[in-house]
Structure 1
């Protein structure tokens, strides 16, 4: 594949892009966006209650740092310095003691939070250590708990609490909630969305990483106010538990059910992950969005996004809308 034409302007900066999500899905988006622009803000979900993050959250009462750490690692400087510190951040201890499976980066982030007593400043310090190409922010200022109403195959309903449980409980998720219900949005995240040129939502764990952002009133209102265009990136395969058996168009319907006023301008999907292109096209139209079908998966058959291919798809979306602006200007003349 040829090198990706950059969208950076003469100053080398590029459009201001805010990426919403968490975990591996957000990392994939950030790895693609960094090929297009230097003006990236990652707004990260903070509901994780498992593994190293869950243990630190329970023991110290802090935001779960794991998804924040992964976003910072994805934005590290492409140099020996940046890559080395990325690897340090991602390193996990292996022992028979209390440090087993703790990520070094999680401990570093929490240490900075305690020293500085400022969540955002602590993350900015880690970003400086990595030479990060962008900024990483939590979506809210307090740890979140995700709750869901799950309908099982036999019709029985269950209220499931906690991100890990929601992500792994078999059944169809009907309704998603956050606890607390009206968490305070991170002010810097709100400001970034309002000032953005583009907002990218997804891919990722649909109910536990992508959609929680839309349930935070401050973020939801900022998405309604902003003049930024929104790109929705679909997953490459359903996840066991939370989205098992879902078709591509059902991802969009679930999003619309929880955030009916959200404006979506473009939907990016890999043709290999779409059961019915017609249904997905119709679902995209219901959101007022254009559907862009592009191979964005890796060539080895694994259900992982390829950064260069995903960046090319984002570039096509952006240039398509820029072309529309140019066409309208020509028509006006």
Structure 2
């Protein structure tokens, strides 16, 4: 039986690792955040009252074995001058439409997964949109993922809340089952406070992560994130993740050892003033986690990214241990 790997996160980082893993002999599941309230996803969650579809769309494409022309259409985003369709991705609209038609987002995802011939499973962490809340290191409270990101303030803690006080948060039972039956849980890569932790802190998910027998791996970011994780080392990222998990749950940390050339990253293009995440292997070891330091760096498009093939190979080797 293929080993079961569960990826947890959101944003653009997860698909980079998923694409090469799809080619391996593994049973792959992605659990994605439902707290995104910006861009096309934010508009659709407000107007159609569905979970934000953007991260789900990107994961479906990463897992797909369908014709590239179909994937290009699914990912196509309308131009800014197209009035009310401006900036909406076709895939987001299809997820919204199928959710209305079936009455259940899981059924909508299952149907799209069939059309796109995906290899794996995609589960929203909850079947309802959630609001991300944050407390800064100075004690200020922030609400909404887009607002938290835009604030560029150092964060201490995040949690999720229902969209209205009378609602209760219910974790997706499919996500819980996947966590409990996994051989490996992989966090990231992605924004610590706005892509990874919004999944971890969902009631029911957190408890499942505390009791699963799976090996738990954190892929440390290559660059810090403006405001949120300025000057964070890889060990400090790990400490925040473990604190939100409620205990030291991470068994291994994948951390990049290659230097990012100072003049390569176009910070203006990527909208951030960030620095390379520094390594602190001793502090990681004190958290009872194995340090896996490798060259994971891929330089492209004037930015520093993870090389998905290199990361996937290391994950597969950890599975064999």
TM-score class normalised by the smaller sequence:
0.7 to 0.9
Structure 1 length normalisation: TM-score?
A: 0.84
Q: Which has the higher strand share?
A: 2
Structure 1 residues 38, 173: closer, same or farther in 2, change over 3 A? same
Superposed CA offset, 1:208-236 (max 9, x none):
11112221121111112221111111111
Q: Which has the higher helix share?
A: 1
Q: 1:267 aligns with which of 253, 261, 265?
A: 253
Superposed CA offset, 1:104-148 (max 9, x none):
000000111011111111101111111111111100121111111
Q: 1:212 aligns with which of 198, 219, 225?
A: 198
Task: State the Cα RMSD in Å.
Answer: 1.9
Contact preservation (8 Å) 2:209, 2:245: no
Q: 1:120 aligns with which of 106, 112, 126?
A: 106
**Secondary structure, in 3 states, of the residue corresponding to 2:224?**
coil
Q: 1:243 aligns with which of 229, 246, 269?
A: 229
**Secondary structure, in 3 states, of the residue corresponding to 1:146?**
strand
Larger radius of gyration: 1
**Secondary structure, in 3 states, of the residue corresponding to 1:298?**
strand
Superposed CA offset, 1:222-254 (max 9, x none):
112221111111111012232233222210111
Contact preservation (8 Å) 1:76, 1:83: no
Matches within 5 A, 1:299-314: 299-300=299-300, 302-314=303-315
Q: Report the Cα distance in structure 1 between the residues aligned to 2:214 and 2:281, rounded to whole angstroms.
A: 22
**Secondary structure, in 3 states, of the residue corresponding to 1:23?**
coil
More moved, 216-225 vs 43-52 = 216-225
Matches within 5 A, 1:228-239: 228-239=214-225
Q: Which residue of 1 aligns with 2:294?
A: 294
**Secondary structure, in 3 states, of the residue corresponding to 1:291?**
strand
Q: Which residue of 2 aligns with 1:97?
A: 83
Structure 2 length normalisation: TM-score?
A: 0.87
Matches within 5 A, 1:67-106: 67-77=55-65, 81-94=66-79, 95-106=81-92
Q: Report the Cα distance in structure 2 between the residues aligned to 1:214 and 1:23, rounded to whole angstroms.
A: 15
Superposed CA offset, 1:75-94 (max 9, x none):
110xxx43222211111011
Q: Which residue of 2 aligns with 1:283?
A: 283
Q: Report the Cα distance in structure 2 between the residues aligned to 1:174 and 1:271, rounded to whole angstroms.
A: 27
Q: Report the Cα distance in structure 1 between the residues aligned to 2:317 and 2:26, rounded to whole angstroms.
A: 18
Q: Which residue of 1 aligns with 2:156?
A: 174
Q: For residue 28 of structure 1, report the CA deviation from its aligned partner.
A: 1.8
Q: Report the Cα distance in structure 1 between the residues aligned to 2:210 and 2:246, rounded to whole angstroms.
A: 11
**Secondary structure, in 3 states, of the residue corresponding to 2:223?**
coil
Structure 1 stretches lacking a partner, 5+ long: 1-12, 322-333
Q: Give yes or no for the alignment of 1:107 onto 2:93.
A: yes
Q: Report the Cα distance in structure 1 between the residues aligned to 2:208 and 2:191, rounded to whole angstroms.
A: 22
Contact preservation (8 Å) 1:149, 1:158: yes
Q: Report the Cα distance in structure 2 between the residues aligned to 1:236 and 1:32, rounded to whole angstroms.
A: 19
Matches within 5 A, 1:187-198: 187-198=173-184
Superposed CA offset, 1:150-184 (max 9, x none):
24xxxx54211110111221221012121139621
Q: For residue 318 of structure 1, report the CA deviation from its aligned partner.
A: 2.1
Q: Give yes or no for the alignment of 1:52 onto 2:40.
A: yes
Structure 1 residues 217, 228: closer, same or farther in 2, change over 3 A? same
Q: For residue 285 of structure 1, report the CA deviation from its aligned partner.
A: 2.3
Superposed CA offset, 1:174-195 (max 9, x none):
1212113962110111111111
**Secondary structure, in 3 states, of the residue corresponding to 1:199?**
strand
Structure 2 stretches lacking a partner, 5+ long: 260-275
More moved, 205-214 vs 104-113 = 205-214
Contact preservation (8 Å) 2:11, 2:190: yes
**Secondary structure, in 3 states, of the residue corresponding to 2:84?**
coil
Q: Report the Cα distance in structure 1 between the residues aligned to 2:112 and 2:277, rounded to whole angstroms.
A: 42
